[in-house]
Amino acid sequence: MSFMNTGKQQKPVLTGQRFKTRKRDEKEKFEPTVFRDTIVGGLNEAGGDLDAVAKFLDATGSRLDYRRYADTLFDILIAGSMLAPGGTRIDDTDKSKVTEHCVFNADEDHAAVRTYAQVFNKLIRRYKYLEKAFEEEIKKLLLFLKAFSEPEQTKLAILTGILLANGTLPPPILTSLFSDNLVKEGISASFAVKMFKAWMAEKDANAVTSALRKSNLDKKLLELFPANKQNVEHFSKYFTEAGLKELSDFLRVQQSLGTRKELQKELQERLSQDCPIREIVLYLKEEMKRNELQEQAVIGLLWTCLMNAVEWNKKEELVTEQALKHLKHYAPLLAVFSTQGQSELVLLQKVQEYCYENIHFMKSFSKIVVLFYKADVLSEGAILKWYKDAPAAKGKSVFLEQMKKFVEWLQNAEEGNVSMVINTCGGFVYSPENRTTSESSEVFRG
């Protein structure tokens, strides 16, 4: 009895038949060392011709797995060798596995390093997927700075500055510089100075400071120095002596803005709690001394806080009365911080801008100014100066018209009499020799 074979019969196969494979499977499986040898060999063959290097890297990317071995590729292009964790060269003893044609062996000047920056730009434009890997590489190398010689650190700083300027690298990569071991040894600050110089040689100071602001690095610049030197004075001296006064000035402004925000928050809190004026004065004077704040900055802040402290009536006829009552109470506080002509002009400008931007206050401007004059917050000289050349355009014609009668009286009054009345009475009234009481009331109502 014979049994039938129910299984599917295989077709005969000719010896030597080739099976078709997909093209992607034909790509060679490179190990890091094979990858290294290919890149080093290509760089050595190209020699110092960086155009040839760029062409070699462009063509080789279609054959080698740049995505998988990006860190090895960038290690070799920058340091000439594969790097071990910490930054030591893995193949330093075997000259056949390293190349002299890399960033670290370039001449120590801006133009020479820029040619290498162009190689990276071309490579990353051609293989867009390398962009993130390159950012990670630079962040890694910044952490390894201690392993590199000073000339190598300088060249890396110049390269980083150039690549930040042309947008190949984003500013957040600089967070690696805030590593404690680099900061303590002064490496971070030294590197930053060289990098910022290169960045500003490619762009202007405004472009650099704008990029720092957008990436919130402006608030961290002091962290380039050890804790005991993290102050504006040390930063300013260090960067100014290095020829980077623009960054010193920028940091001072940014620190001042940060201080003002904190000060405004604290002031707002104290006003909401009806803190006594005397205590607010003491607090502000201490903060001015501690943060080296000018009176002009404080008077502007005070005005903003005082106007934010009240929920204003929506009716124009009531809001003026409400404002005058509120500001009369705090006039002694404002008077303490308006002792300089420039401070008075800042306050006048703030009042002008506020009344213009808040439509219910449009008719209140002159009344507020007269109140401040009576309370010794604003002087005759400051008001006349403002009237002659008001710095802010907002509502200028309207407010000049409002102030016309009062300014005319100031101009016509005898200065000695006005001064005498202010000094003896501590407030503003018309001197009998110049105006009658009824005229005074009419001007105040106007």
Residue 291 domain boundaries: 275-403
89 and 174 belong to one structural domain? yes
Rounded to two decimals, the pTM is 0.60
- Is the domain of 167 the same as that of 53? yes
pLDDT at 439: 35
Q: What are phi and psi of 186, to 5 degrees?
A: 80, 5
Q: Is residue 221 part of a domain?
A: no
For 180, the token pair is: 């404690």
Q: Are residues 65 and 182 in the same domain?
A: yes
Is 10 contained in some domain?
Answer: no
**Residues 176, 74 share a domain:** yes
Question: Could you tell me if residue 231 is inside a domain?
Answer: no
Q: Which residues pair with 83 in a beta bridge?
A: 89
Contact 41, 99 (CB under 8 A): no
Question: How high is the pLDDT of residue 231?
Answer: 86
Burial class (CB in 10 A: 0-12, 13-18, 19+), 241: exposed
Structure tokens at 342: 């420039």
**How far, in Å, CA of 141 to CA of 151, rounded?**
14
- Report the pLDDT value the prediction gives residue 420, as an integer from 0 to 100: 33
Q: Are residues 327 and 199 in the same domain?
A: no
In a domain, 433, yes or no: no
Within a domain: 199: yes
SS3 state at 80: coil
Consecutive H or E run containing 330:
helix 316-336
User: Looking up tokens 């009062």, which residue turns up?
Assistant: 406
| Matching residue, tokens 């120590």 | 108
Considering the domain architecture, whether residues 195 and 86 belong to the same structural domain is answered as yes
What pLDDT score was predicted for residue 8?
Answer: 52
Q: Kindly list the averaged pLDDT for each block of 10 residues, start to end, along the chain of length 446.
A: 51 50 49 89 91 94 91 95 90 82 94 96 95 96 96 97 96 95 95 96 91 88 92 90 90 72 86 92 87 83 91 86 94 94 92 91 93 94 87 78 91 55 35 35 35
> Domain for residue 187, yes or no?
yes
Same domain, yes or no: 204 and 71 = yes
Tokens at 199, concatenated: 């960045």
Q: Are residues 90 and 201 in the same domain?
A: yes
Position 232 in a domain = no
| Together in a domain, 161 and 31 | yes
418 to each of 327, 423, 440, how far by Cα in Å? 23, 9, 13
Neighbouring CB atoms inside 10 A of 290's CB total 9
Domain check: are 96 and 170 in the same one?
Answer: yes
Residue 194 and residue 299 in one domain: no
Q: Judge whether 269 and 279 are in contact, CB under 8 Å.
A: no
CATH at residue 322: 1.25.40.180
Q: Are residues 39 and 188 in the same domain?
A: yes
Q: How far apart are CA 273 and CA 120, in angstroms?
A: 59
Domain total for the chain? 2
The answer to whether position 380 is within a domain reads: yes
